[in-house]
Amino acid sequence: MILILAGLLAGAAPQQAPAAPSPSPSADTRKVPTLDARLSNAFRLIKAGRYAQARRAAEDYLRSGNATHPGQAQFILGLSYHRERLYESAHARFAEAVALEPGYVTTYFFHGFTLLNLGRLDEARKALESYLAQGPEDPEAVFGLGLVALEQDRVDDAEQAFVRAIALARGREVGPVFSPGLREDLSRYEARLADVHLRRGDPQKARADLERSVELWPAHFEPWHKLALVLRRLGDAAGAERAQARADEAFRRRTAPGQP
């Protein structure tokens, strides 16, 4: 989701839609409606983490009497709750956004992940599939389908989705060095692929997945912890201790005062 959010929250020009970007040429075929310029301030407030103020701005727009895109305002409201992890409130707003403006495709993406966090797996799958149906494959949305499949114990589908998400993400980078955002996304994808291999009872493959994950983004503490468990299972006590130490260090850094 790093790439999606980076593009969505960084490109809040008044005339631009808050849409999931893709560096790949094929992504240009995804048709996204333009965000109403009168909502751009609310969008910038979300970018700044000022969620309550963003909601007030969107609600003022809705009360103005000439809100030409109320569905987009509901999307902004839903996104503000989603970013605060208030998923029930986000779900209500995203559902209203889809009902009012079904052509605003980015809503389906965030609604899908909101529904996943609420455990509403069939609905999450439908929302993410709706998003993907309206444009080229997006790695984060495909990854989301993998998460849904894993939660539903559809292990083959989960593996297929994670492998596809990794391939799509790697295909986005033109040069030999991945951008930080892409490295972080790939790290998450590899860590979840390890979950598939662990569920299948293959710790050797899980170890390879997790080693790629921590190499891509060492700041993620969860893959280090999983790697420690796998190494211990494989009889590498010293390696497990080193991995757990890295997990503890990453966790301390992530939870230090001032971290988002």
For the chain, what are the domain ranges?
1-134
The pLDDT of residue 164 is 98
CA torsion sign for 114, 119, 123, 129 is: positive
pTM of the model: 0.86
- The per-residue pLDDT of the chain, averaged, comes to 89
Burial of 116 (0-12, 13-18, 19+ CB in 10 A): buried
CA-CA distance, 96 to 112, in Å (whole number)? 14
The pLDDT of residue 136 is 83
The pLDDT of residue 14 is 33
- Which residues, given as ranges, of the chain have pLDDT below 50? 2-3, 5-29
Q: Name residue, tokens 């959010």.
A: 5
Q: Is 208 left (phi over 0), alpha (psi -120 to 50) or beta?
A: alpha
The pLDDT of residue 5 is 47
Q: Is 174 left (phi over 0), alpha (psi -120 to 50) or beta?
A: alpha
Long-range contacts of 242-247 (CB under 8 A, 24+ apart): 243/214, 246/214, 246/218, 246/221, 247/221, 247/222
Architecture of domain 1-134: Alpha Horseshoe (1.25)
Q: Residue 12: which of 37, 30, 49 has the closest Cα?
A: 37
Q: Residue 187: which of 155, 229, 149, 218 has the closest Cα?
A: 218
The pLDDT of residue 203 is 98
